Amino acid sequence: MDDGPREIRLRGRLVDSLYTEAMVLADEARAYFDRQGREDREGLDPVARVTLSCESLKITTRLMHVLAWLLTERAIELGQMESEEAAASARRLGDAAPSDAGSVEGLPAPAIALIDASQDLYARVRRLEAEAPEAASGVSPALSLLDRLERAF
């Protein structure tokens, strides 16, 4: 019995689930850094404030790469993008710097939770990318999207 179509359906469900999780996490990060994060930042020493700012950018970068990769996978699954086009240009998860556990140690607990969640999500999507049937090297999904936008206009 061929499990190909079944594996594709399961992979599609996994991609959809990860996409939903990434969007929820992005919303939680935005809400934290727009509201409570500002208050938390005021209570930190200058070095910790800079660390918190850097970590917020790392969280955003991880989520941007994850979302771009997942959207590419969804577009392929829905037939909105040819697999060959994706393999050539956009099927690679962009690199995102990990957070240093020692540096984030003194940050507020909600920030640490967001850092950990974003790193965990990024690692899971990285594993899924490694299992992609046509995983290929190329430019990151974010750069590919920018290239496609430039060509469109």
Question: Considering all CA atoms of the chain, what is the largest pairwise distance in Å, rounded to the nearest integer?
Answer: 62
Residue whose C-alpha is closest to residue 107's, from 28, 34, 51: 51
pLDDT score for 9: 74
Instruction: Check residue 139 and report its DSSP letter.
Output: S
pLDDT digits (tens, 9 = 90+) for 138-148: 556 666 666 66
pLDDT digits (tens, 9 = 90+) for 48-67: 999 999 999 999 999 999 99
Looking at the chain, the whole-number percentage of residues with pLDDT higher than 90 is: 57
Domain borders along the chain are: 4-152
- What is the distance between the alpha carbons of residues 28 and 39, in angstroms, rounded to a whole number? 16
Which value, in Å, is the radius of gyration of the alpha carbons in the chain? Answer: 18
Flag whether pLDDT at 22 surpasses 50: yes
Which homologous superfamily is 4-152 in?
Protein of unknown function DUF1465 (1.10.8.930)
Residue whose C-alpha is closest to residue 10's, from 99, 109, 113, 131: 131
On average, the pLDDT of the chain sits at: 84
Dihedral angle at the C-alpha atoms of 108, 70, 148, 97, nearest 10 degrees? 40
Looking at the chain, the whole-number percentage of residues with pLDDT higher than 70 is: 75
